[in-house]
Amino acid sequence: MLFSSIDFLYYFLPCVIILYFIVPNKFKNFILLLTSLFFYFVGEPIYVLLMLGTIFSAYVHGILIDKYRGTKLSKIFLISSIVITVSLLGFFKYTDFFITNINEIFNSSIALLKIALPIGISFYSFQVISYTIDVYRGNAKVQKNFLNLATYVALFPQLIAGPIVRYTSVEEDLESRKHTFEGFAQGATRFVIGLAKKILIANVLGEMCQDFRLCDDKTVLFYWLYGIAFCLHIYFDFSAYSDMAIGLGRMFGFKFPENFNYPYISKSITEFWRRWHISLSTWFRDYVYIPLGGNRVGKWKLYRNILIVWLLTGFWHGADWTFIVWGLFFAILLMIEKAFLGKFLEKLPSIISRFYLLFLVMISFIIFNADGMGQAIQDIKGLFGANGVPLINDITLYYLQSYLVVIIIAIIGATPFIKNAVLKLKENEKMRKVINVLEPIVIVLIIVATTAYLVDGSFNPFLYFRF
């Protein structure tokens, strides 16, 4: 069930809100867990058992880690928990990838298992791992109430595509959280903004990217148009989901961490990954990079740590060589910036460093979205006219005219310009009153517009559901 669907918006969510707020506080987690399991069951009936099994493993291991704290058994139970969770993730997500590569290397014919990928397994697996590690480190109290732990992992706003919420971020909220009309209104507003980003911008750009793939008459300009459009599409698609997840969490009294902070205004790859998919990059920092020694080691070990983290980051995104190459691409760029380029970029005019960042990120996402490395290389060559295609033609001009407005809106929306402008206007008391009156009207208009798009049956996938 998609957040941006009629079923979710007009059936599931209203029912959940009504049930949630009419029951006493002691039953609210039960309602959230029950409705979250139903939410997951609609899309993955069988794999609900897999998720519950993963939660039960984390619950038992957390108790055992805490019980034997300070002994070798505590570490053994931590390792056991991680091995079980990673093994389940590896089996369901990567088995066919390894079989395919073994067959190619050894010319064997091992049959593929063709296992369906459980939706959201990469996200909830990382949440479970972070929980048991934090209990072991003493950063989180062990949760002895299975209902509360299950609610944390299965909570439908962040279950399918993040953000990756740490147990420590919601530990207190699980036990006792405040519900206010102001908090609910803020959450609803954030959700609607995310919905607009998804339906009115991300989906439209996604259609253009799909049209590019189907077009047999490409040009150099069309390759550039595709590269720019896909960068904007993946940002608005994923950040929209995060906005909706954060908004939904706020409606139910939870405060989820921010996942994006205008990454396309960055001046380096290092800064970009402080702003893009923040919950994932900080997860790898805290649970892989720092335990390996972080940057407190020698130069070569530092490069080793970066390489390991980004190899895992790429592999986390999917069982395909394009994702691995994508991760290694960022690893190389980060190592170069650590070695010498970072200091050089700081001295350059910001416009140059920003173009450096945007160009390399565009190349990375072309690799990310390609169906195999052959297509990725073809797409990158197309940017420079190496495919023997013309510079421009009538078909390209048609697509440019059709999508130029939404691309311009997306470029502006990918910067803090609108946010800063509104905050500046609110400094004036009269303008603040006007904005306060206009805001609910705009929200209603957005709901009407997005509903019209959904009823029309427009292009509406979520890119990160495949992870």
- What percent of the chain stands above pLDDT 90? 84
Place of tokens 């049956």: 457
Q: Read off the pLDDT of residues 344-401 as tens digits, 9 standing for 90 and up.
A: 999 999 999 999 999 999 999 999 999 999 999 999 999 999 988 999 999 999 999 9
Q: Helices (DSSP H) in 107-180: which residue ranges?
A: 121-137, 146-154, 156-159, 167-175
Is residue 406 within 8 A of residue 201, CB to CB? The reply is: yes
Using 50, 70 and 90 to split pLDDT, how confident is the model at 460? low
Query: Cα(312)–Cα(308) distance, rounded to whole angstroms?
Result: 6
Per-residue pLDDT, averaged over 19-45, amounts to 94
Query: Cα(299)–Cα(304) distance, rounded to whole angstroms?
Result: 9
pLDDT above 60: residue 333: yes
The confidence score (pLDDT) of residue 466 equals: 53
**Nearest alpha carbon to residue 74 among 89, 88, 64, 82:** 64
DSSP state of 287: I
The confidence score (pLDDT) of residue 467 equals: 53
Q: Read off the pLDDT of residues 134-177 as tens digits, 9 standing for 90 and up.
A: 999 999 999 999 999 999 999 999 998 879 999 999 999 999 89
H/E stretch holding 296:
none
The SS3 assignment for 140 reads coil
The confidence score (pLDDT) of residue 277 equals: 95
Structure tokens at 91: 């089996």
Give the list of residues 6+ apart from residue 395 with CB closer than 8 angstroms, or none.
Answer: 215, 217, 219, 222
Structure tokens at 359: 């160009």
Query: Cα(5)–Cα(191) distance, rounded to whole angstroms?
Result: 13
Peptide bond between residue 157 and the one before it cis (omega within 30 degrees of 0): no
Is residue 217 within 8 A of residue 394, CB to CB? The reply is: no
For the chain, what is the mean pLDDT?
A: 93
Query: Cα(441)–Cα(439) distance, rounded to whole angstroms?
Result: 5
The confidence score (pLDDT) of residue 461 equals: 63
> What is the phi-psi region of residue 286: left when phi exceeds 0, alpha when psi lies from -120 to 50, beta otherwise?
alpha
E strands, 256-349, where? none
Active site amino acids: 317
